[in-house]
Structure 1
Amino acid sequence: MQDLSENIQQVHNEKLGRHLVAGLPIEPGETLLEERPLLVTPHWECGQLKCAQCLQESYVMCRKCQVYPLCMDCSQHDDFECEFFASGAGKSICKDLLVKNYGICGLLRLLLLLEDPTTRPDCQVLMEWPVNLEDYRDGEGMWQEHEEQVVRPLMESGIMELLPSQQLTSDVLHAHCIRIDSHAFEVTARDGDTLKGVFVCGASLPHHCVPNTVVALDEEFNMKLYAAVPLQPGDIIYNSYTNPLMGTSQRQHQLRLSRRLDCTCSRCQDPTEMGTHMSSMKCRECAEGYAVCEMDANGRMGDWRCLNCKSILPAASVHELLAEVGGALVDARGDLQVYESLLTQYRQLFHPNHFLLLDIKQNIATILRAAALMNSVEQPCKKLLARRAELCSDLLPVCRAVVPGLSKLYAIGLFEYLISLVELIELQFAESDLDKKGYVGQLRIASQAAKEAMELLRFEPENSAEGFLSERIAMELERIESDLMKYGR
């Protein structure tokens, strides 16, 4: 299931439990862990049947067991799963089990992995992961989702009586659901749908909002974990389970919901968020100041205080404003003009790098890119292309700061900037808004961005989304270099 680098050691302490540390100096890009997923499954709420073998959409059932879906290209699936329902006690289960309740698919597969003597040992570490169910009976949504979409339908199916050795109860099933969610990374099927891949080792690494590793997933759902920065002997191997472009309060909220974790990492303890000011507010008392959130000795967030004039911005008013903007973003529903209006309205209240402003900018850039891809405008508008390039450029310094080292986030940001810039300057050059010297100068900027992005992605598997992206960047770079040869003499 997994293969650890010989330069990595497994250790244990009371705070982190069992975890990994560097045993020798490690260079960026060095592989630390390779792991196959214990299982890959659609999200709980998925209602569309997926092939049990390749996980693409399916509308027919396995002829042998008549329970699991198979697509037209796949003739069989896991032997134990199939045989369980095709013979013996499994015959008593309704053949429409997954048709009526497809949300149970992931948990059902885990139960059958536990039932199969050949795969049961693979589940041991996952089963040892402690779950305090009382932490989840809090009305936040996860418990209710599991109960309605998975636990209750599975208990009513009658399968519980067919697995007596597992002593299954409602609480046991809830604990299994939590273990699946807590050890899942989002993976992408061949048809583009997102799925959950359960990685027992890779998803159990300690969290840090500035990870020192990179997770790479290929199209076969295999994981490679490699070093993002140089590691010294004794350094803890960290992963991140949050969106790095979230502010501190939002990352911490997500971690409390998904992993019941109060993060006290260096980024969470830094009110300026590594100098990015992604959670900083514009001071309401002075023209130049920005207010940052004060932390108490236990890392709890308090009021916001201006770094310039020391005036206080109450936490209640900040949270009210954040909720207001969050609601406005939901209501925007992909409307470009609404997003631009929100950006104009709220940039007076937040630091330019505030995560909500970044969110708005990302939405605008995405809409502009989609319009270009769909050829929704017959003649590309230089003003819109320039706007997209500007927005992409604004995001780059923040991406570079919050994910240092070999950063896929920064590489993808560079790619978006590269494409935006090249589209713009080619049009400007064609319409004589740029002379040859100016065009060559911009091409050199684009060439540097392409080379930097490829350098950051060089350790990604070739058969991964980032590997394919690297190929796309290489093609773009070849085209840029051709123009440089033509016009740069």
Structure 2
Amino acid sequence: MEEVNVSSQEEVCGVCYETAQLKCGACKAVFYCSRKHQKIHWKQHIKDCTPFKMSENSILGRHYIATRKIDIGEIILEEIKPLVSAPLNDTCPLCLNCFSILNIFNAQPCEKCGWPLCKICTTHGSECEFTIKHRGIKVHINNFEVPHPTYKCIGVVRALALREIDPDNYKKFLSLQSHWDDNDEEKHLDNRETEFVEIARFVKGFFKLKDNEITLKEIIKILGIYQINGHEVPTTENPHVAVYDIASYFEHNCRANCSKSFTENGGIIIRAATTILKGQHITLCYTDPLWGTTNRRHHLLKTKFFDCMCNRCRDPTEFGTMFNALKCTRGECDGFLLPSSFIIKTSICSFSVNEKLPDYTCTKCHEAVMSWKNAEIILENIGIELATMTKNSTEACRKFIKRYCKIIHENHFYMVDVKLALVQLIGQQSGGLSMVDDDILDEKITLCKTLNHLLCTIVPAENRIRGLILFEMHAGLAEYGRRQGKNKLYEILTLSRDALTEAHQLLHHESEILPEGKIAQIAQQNIHEINAIMNKIDQN
């Protein structure tokens, strides 16, 4: 805890109630007369030491609201470990300790329960004792080539084990949203939770669990909690899913104001990506923020079971970026086609649309009209071509951009996908950026600038993507400066260093075992090298 001197403001000490001028540096809500009293009060205060509070309404349910102004980059929450963690669904057999993929050469069964581990790990999770206690016989897995269905039960088993060994944390786990309605069981069994029911029945049969030990309903609820509250953690060789306690109540927004990163030990750290004022909602993004509105909303409905109504989804222009826009079909018009709204009613069980879909209409001439269906056909065909496009090819990227710039907006999400790939590919050829022609180098720098501006507008919390783009911009600017001679070198190196410094600020929170964390290390080293060059220029 940090202490902050605020001599101009007098409050009372949280321990002795005497006049105090020091306050908690984290929540800035409690005052102290001395550092000694601050330490005394910490065991009690730690429970409430956050810059946010829980709120609740009928639409959002439980969510967080800022209790004070939160600055960009400030840590809002840090949870050292999750309540439970488990492999992703449909995974091939992997080590249940380090989550590394197994094969017939590196797998060895746990001596106690039989679950396979890698040859480095000797212990694993709570499924070990649970298997011994309830199954009675060891697990045998011999096929390592394809996804194994038994791994779908690991998350459930670890939650059930938590019920036995840590009832308090299991109670916290069960209090999370699952969208399971006890009074509407048959509806759920017949529709969206069919897979959950199959997994639940498998768990009961595989581990020989009787109804008086655990009900089918409780297992389905556990699966729902994983589905809605799970975070994909990339810090293991094979990503895994983790459910946290406090972090599970962060509200979704497609333009979130917070970013998240993960520690090597599986903890989660949430930071403010934008300035958050007192009373504002604190949000994370639950889906891929660089998908189009229709795709984002469909994914959220299918996996998180709610219709997103955030300001970004409500604005068909996505804050003026035209992220979903097609070009006007009238040749003489330079406008763009968009529907009046992407907010359409769908069935939460079947995910089918049950209202008339609005037409796409030109935002400029207001005369060109295209049906929603025809627009979707066009976008589907573009998506198919994008999926089959040659990978790691600058030529294929440029060909795609040239072909579809006449059909979709330059900021369309398909265009952004290709441009993000292109800026990272330019300079990867033999010889690096030094072998790239001037016009291609200029193309890289220009793309980086426009992409960064776009990302700041619609996804300011996507630190990893923005950090990578700014790192690429720095590299392009540094090479451009080298080619301009001494007169312009200092000025251009300043721009390169600014981009690099911002990239480092965005990425230095990432674990060093992740690509983004490694780039942050390179960025820090490059900053020192640029500063040395600029100092030498100053001296000369």
- Contact kept, 8 Å, 1:218 with 1:463, in 2: the verdict is no
Corresponding residue of 1:313? 370
- Contact kept, 8 Å, 1:62 with 1:75, in 2: the verdict is no
More helix by share: 1
Corresponding residue of 2:456? 400
Kindly name which structure, 1 or 2, has the bigger radius of gyration based on alpha carbons. Answer: 2
Residue 476 of structure 1: how far off its partner (Å): 1.5
1:127 aligns with 2:174: yes
- Contact kept, 8 Å, 1:107 with 1:177, in 2: the verdict is no
Corresponding residue of 2:288? 243
Root mean square deviation of aligned Cα:
3.4
Corresponding residue of 2:276? 231
Corresponding residue of 1:267? 312
Is the partner of 1:92 in helix, strand or coil? Answer: coil
**In structure 1, how many angstroms separate the alpha carbons of the residues matched to 2:372 and 2:265?**
46
Amino acid at match of 1:50: L
Corresponding residue of 1:51? 95
Corresponding residue of 1:31? 75
Measured against aligned partners, the alpha-carbon deviations of 1:358-390 in whole angstroms (never above 9, x if no partner) come to 112223334446x44xx4889833365554444
**In structure 2, how many angstroms separate the alpha carbons of the residues matched to 1:406 and 1:185?**
15
Measured against aligned partners, the alpha-carbon deviations of 1:411-463 in whole angstroms (never above 9, x if no partner) come to 332123223443x437xx4xxx5322233333222111012223445666778
Corresponding residue of 2:11? none
Q: Which of the residues 107, 110, 114 maps onto 1:60?
A: 107
Q: Which of the residues 145, 160, 168 maps onto 1:114?
A: 160
1:365 aligns with 2:415: no
Question: What percentage of residue pairs aligned between the two structures are identical?
Answer: 21
Amino acid at match of 2:306: L
**In structure 2, how many angstroms separate the alpha carbons of the residues matched to 1:407 and 1:186?**
16
1:75 aligns with 2:132: no
Corresponding residue of 1:438? 488
Q: For the structure 1 residues 63 and 81, does the alpha-carbon distance in structure 2 shift closer, same or farther, using more than 3 Å as the test?
A: same
Compute the TM-score of the two structures, normalised by the length of structure 1.
0.83
Corresponding residue of 1:343? 401
**In structure 2, how many angstroms separate the alpha carbons of the residues matched to 1:104 and 1:204?**
30
Is the partner of 2:535 in helix, strand or coil? Answer: helix
Q: Which runs of 5+ in 2 are unaligned?
A: 1-45, 346-354
- Contact kept, 8 Å, 2:84 with 2:242, in 1: the verdict is yes
**In structure 1, how many angstroms separate the alpha carbons of the residues matched to 2:189 and 2:325?**
31
Q: Which of the residues 203, 208, 216 maps onto 2:261?
A: 216
Q: Quick check: 25-34 or 207-216, which moved more?
A: 25-34
| 1:458-473 equivalent positions in 2, closer than 5 A | 466-473=516-523
Q: For the structure 1 residues 416 and 37, does the alpha-carbon distance in structure 2 shift closer, same or farther, using more than 3 Å as the test?
A: farther
Amino acid at match of 1:314: S
Residue 341 of structure 1: how far off its partner (Å): 1.9
- Contact kept, 8 Å, 1:216 with 1:224, in 2: the verdict is yes
Corresponding residue of 1:185? 231
Q: Which runs of 5+ in 1 are unaligned?
A: none
Corresponding residue of 1:353? 411
**In structure 2, how many angstroms separate the alpha carbons of the residues matched to 1:247 and 1:136?**
31
**In structure 2, how many angstroms separate the alpha carbons of the residues matched to 1:276 and 1:143?**
39
Residue 221 of structure 1: how far off its partner (Å): 1.4
Is the partner of 2:318 in helix, strand or coil? Answer: coil
Q: Which of the residues 243, 257, 271 maps onto 2:302?
A: 257
Compute the TM-score of the two structures, normalised by the length of structure 2.
0.76
